Amino acid sequence: MSIVDELVSTVSADIDLLRIRDGQGNVFAHRRPVDFVFVTESEPQATNVAGFLADYRYADTSVTPVNGEFRVVATIVMSVEQQELLAVSGFMRCIAALFTVTYDGWGAPVVKSAS
């Protein structure tokens, strides 16, 4: 799959998730920790991805072994408004392609209005 196809697939999945959150009453503009997840079978690859993102201050990162694979979680405190989220998620998809790891999407708490 080309990087363009991967980006289109990522945008589609991200928009689907944003629609679900909209139905849950999510306040998109509220900043919260957003976790972007990568998976690889190679510990050195996981360490390289985490190191790159942390060293250049893109995100706080952690690497965890899970069922014979290594999971990299890159956390950024940000809003989940559509343009911002899609731009960062697309960037993470590109990072995954550059480091030949799997991008497994993002997750964040749903934040509802106080009223």
CA-atom Rg of the chain in angstroms: 14
Residues in Cβ contact with 70 at an 8 Å cutoff, skipping those fewer than 6 apart: 39, 40, 41, 42, 43, 45, 46, 63, 64
Residues 38 and 72: beta-carbon distance below 8 Å: yes
Domains and CATH numbers, the chain: 3-107 (3.30.70.970)
Mean predicted confidence (pLDDT) in 8-34: 96
Query: pLDDT by residue (tens digit) across 67-91?
Result: 999 999 999 999 999 999 999 999 9
Q: What is the pLDDT of residue 1?
A: 74
Average pLDDT, the chain: 97
Q: What is the pLDDT of residue 10?
A: 95
Q: Which of 77, 76, 22 is nearest to 14 (CA)?
A: 22
Q: What is the pLDDT of residue 115?
A: 60
Q: What is the pLDDT of residue 114?
A: 72
